[in-house]
Amino acid sequence: MDLTYRPRRLRRTPSLREMVQEHSLNAADFIYPLFVHEGAEVEPINAMPGANRWDLDNLIAEVERAWKLGVRCIVLFPKVADSLKTEDAAECYNENGLIPRAIRKLKQELPEMTIMTDVALDPYSCDGHDGIVSSQGIVLNDETIENLCRQAIVQAQAGADLIGPSDMMDGRVGAIREALDDEGFEHVGIISYTAKYSSAYYGPFREALDSAPRLTSSKPIPKDKSTYQMDPANAREAITEAQLDEQEGADILMVKPGLAYLDIIYRLRQESELPIAAYNVSGEYAMVKAAAQQGWIEEKAVVLETLLSFKRAGADLILSYHACDAADWLREG
Ligand code: PBG
């Protein structure tokens, strides 16, 4: 054939392919989410094979392992005892709570590792919502934000580097920024869950923390989070959220879930110059693990291809439960 252009010319050899490769993965792009609990042992999480609830001693060892593999940031989630859960989730700002203790210990043992936190009430709420639920079953915005600000300050005092509000209350980024600044934490950053969708992909996470919405009294409790998390049908609304978070002082914008929302990552990349993070959430992780366990897919290849898709869509950072495995595989080449 008389072809002028033959794209296959640049695919012919490994070195040519490497030369023209547009995107690549780096262990320092990853943020590794870890679950902590008060127990004395490492407890596997049923729906997330390979992920665990860590006790504080083993947490240190796991974070050291991640650091050695090149991972530079972790995010912590607490499994809180039912006895500590209340309607106002006041345990979230207990300075001797699980998360502040974990942060202090990590900062002592491994000060170089960047520590991100999650700001939301759900792990501490007996109702399993990210905000305070009124007696009429409404998730209250402004009242919730007061607690979120106290939670963020306690985390910053313990040594957190990046505060991650995942609650989706309106105005929380600005309020947290102001609260941090007032307390002298102007150097602490905010990685905002900007476009967080009301998603069924969070199922395994809620099992890990036993944090799903539930009825504990006669109070009506919304069965899902759709009055504050975004509607999966909406894309333009993500841009509005991003604009608000930028105005309110977010340092990094996040899209969550990641894989089912690659278009949102791409759109935010066009709209903002801030770094963008993608959260490859628990349900996305569980699906890959389940298929791999069945021998239906090749785990390493699928994980690396998936993580690369976030970079291609425009993400700078990727939160993934596969972070350590992927960092290890990248070293192997
Ligand atoms: C809590 C929170 C959730 C996740 C991160 N922070 C669950 C939720 O909003 O219900 C989900 C993470 C995952 O599924 O991996 N606000």
Q: Which CATH number fits domain 24-332: 3.30.1360.120, 3.30.420.40, 3.40.1030.10, 3.20.20.70?
A: 3.20.20.70
- Predicted TM-score (pTM) of this structure: 0.97
Half-sphere exposure (Cβ direction) of 4: Cα atoms closer than 13 Å: 0
**pLDDT for 218 beyond 90:** no
**pLDDT for 151 beyond 90:** yes
300 lines ligand 1 (CB under 6 A): no
209 lines ligand 1 (CB under 6 A): no
Q: In sequence order, which residues have a C-beta less than 8 Å from that of residue 179 and are 6 or more positions away?
A: 149, 150, 152, 153
269 lines ligand 1 (CB under 6 A): no
Kindly state the average pLDDT of the residues 261-271.
98
- How far does the centroid of ligand 1 lie from the alpha carbon of residue 331, in Å? 30
What 3-state class would DSSP assign to 271? helix
Query: Which pLDDT belongs to residue 8?
Result: 98
- How far does the centroid of ligand 1 lie from the alpha carbon of residue 46, in Å? 17
Residue nearest to atom 11 of ligand 1 (CA): 202
- The CA-atom distances, in angstroms, between 238 and each of 12, 124, 126, 233, 302 are 40, 27, 29, 11, 28
What is the CA 180 to chain-centroid distance, rounded?
Answer: 20
284 lines ligand 1 (CB under 6 A): no
Residue nearest to atom 14 of ligand 1 (CA): 202
Query: Which pLDDT belongs to residue 231?
Result: 98
Predicted confidence band at 288 (pLDDT cuts at 50, 70, 90)? very high
Predicted confidence band at 332 (pLDDT cuts at 50, 70, 90)? confident
**pLDDT for 168 beyond 80:** yes
| pLDDT (tens digit per residue) in 188-200 | 999 999 999 999 9
Terminal Cα-to-Cα distance of the chain (whole angstroms): 37
Question: Among residues of the chain, what percentage have pLDDT more than 70?
Answer: 100
Query: Which pLDDT belongs to residue 301?
Result: 98
Catalytic residues: 196, 256
Q: In sequence order, which residues have a C-beta less than 8 Å from that of residue 244 and are 6 or more positions away?
A: 170, 173
Predicted confidence band at 216 (pLDDT cuts at 50, 70, 90)? confident
Predicted confidence band at 217 (pLDDT cuts at 50, 70, 90)? confident
Question: 125 and 85 in contact (C-beta within 8 Å)?
Answer: yes
**pLDDT for 333 beyond 80:** no
| pLDDT (tens digit per residue) in 58-114 | 999 999 999 999 999 999 999 999 999 999 999 999 999 999 999 999 999 999 999
Query: Which pLDDT belongs to residue 55?
Result: 98
**pLDDT for 247 beyond 80:** yes
Q: Which amino acid is at 123?
A: P
Average pLDDT taken over every residue of the chain: 97
144 lines ligand 1 (CB under 6 A): no
Question: How far apart (Å, rounded) are the C-alpha atoms in residues 151 and 166?
Answer: 12
Rounded to 5°, angle at Cα 270 from 318 and 19: 65
**What are the structural domain ranges in the chain?**
24-332
Structure tokens at 315: 């993400």
Residue of higher predicted confidence among 217 and 310: 310
Kindly state the average pLDDT of the residues 217-236.
95
- How far does the centroid of ligand 1 lie from the alpha carbon of residue 332, in Å? 31
Choose the residue to mutate in 166, 210, 228 for probing ligand 1, maximizing ligand atoms within 8 Å of C-beta. Answer: 166
Choose the residue to mutate in 53, 79, 122 for probing ligand 1, maximizing ligand atoms within 8 Å of C-beta. Answer: 122
Kindly state the average pLDDT of the residues 201-223.
91
Query: Which pLDDT belongs to residue 249?
Result: 98
Question: 196 and 250 in contact (C-beta within 8 Å)?
Answer: no
Query: Which pLDDT belongs to residue 279?
Result: 98
- How far does the centroid of ligand 1 lie from the alpha carbon of residue 261, in Å? 15
Query: Which pLDDT belongs to residue 292?
Result: 98
| pLDDT (tens digit per residue) in 19-68 | 999 999 999 999 999 999 999 999 999 999 999 999 999 999 999 999 99
- How far does the centroid of ligand 1 lie from the alpha carbon of residue 71, in Å? 21
161 lines ligand 1 (CB under 6 A): no
